Amino acid sequence: MIYHFDMKLTDRQKLILKGKICPYCGDETEYVDSSCIYVVSYGMIYLCWPCNAYCGVHAGTNKALGRVANCELRAWKKAAHKSFDKIWKKKYLKRSLAYKWLSIRLGIPKEYTHIGMFSVETCKKVIELSKKFTKEKQYAN
Ligand SMILES: [Zn+2]
């Protein structure tokens, strides 16, 4: 799922990015407490039972962090965050600027530049871009 700046999302795509429709089976997700899948509760999640796909919400809201993700995508999202977050954690760029940089490099509008919204393919690209950026910065001084 790579969006271009001039591309408009359909209502269905928007619902997917809001966690309300499962991109794997196309059915509606359920809004449930995460204790359904974890031993302890980490708050509410959007969940598709048959696909074992889910995503969390922004603290104190019912707003999904992105699309629901299956096991494979969850692992890639973690890896993408690990590589990308280094850019602002090591202060190579301010956090907001790092997201702007990512948005431009991926060709995705800023409002959709959230790792929680990305596919496996896009996560892989984030890792590649972030690693390259960090490496260049390391040898820049
Ligand atoms: Zn599903």
What are the pLDDT digits (tens) for 68-108?
Answer: 999 999 999 999 999 999 999 999 999 999 999 999 999 99
Are 64 and 74 within one domain?
A: no
- Domain contains 90: yes
Distance 74 CA to ligand 1 centre (A): 14
CA neighbor of 80 nearest in space, from 30, 51, 119: 119
Identify whether the C-beta of residue 57 lies closer than 8 Å to the C-beta of residue 46: yes
pLDDT attached to residue 1: 47
Evaluate whether residue 21 is within a structural domain.
yes
134 in the same domain as 75: yes
Ligand 1 centroid distance, CA of 123 (Å): 20
CA of 7 to the centre of ligand 1 (A): 25
Entry pTM? 0.88
Check whether residue 59 and residue 113 sit in a common domain: no
Q: Domain check: are 80 and 28 in the same one?
A: no
Q: Ligand 1 (ion): which residues have CB within 5 A?
A: 22, 24-25, 48, 51
Query: How far is Cα 97 from Cα 109, in angstroms, rounded to an integer?
Result: 14
Domain that holds residue 78: 70-141
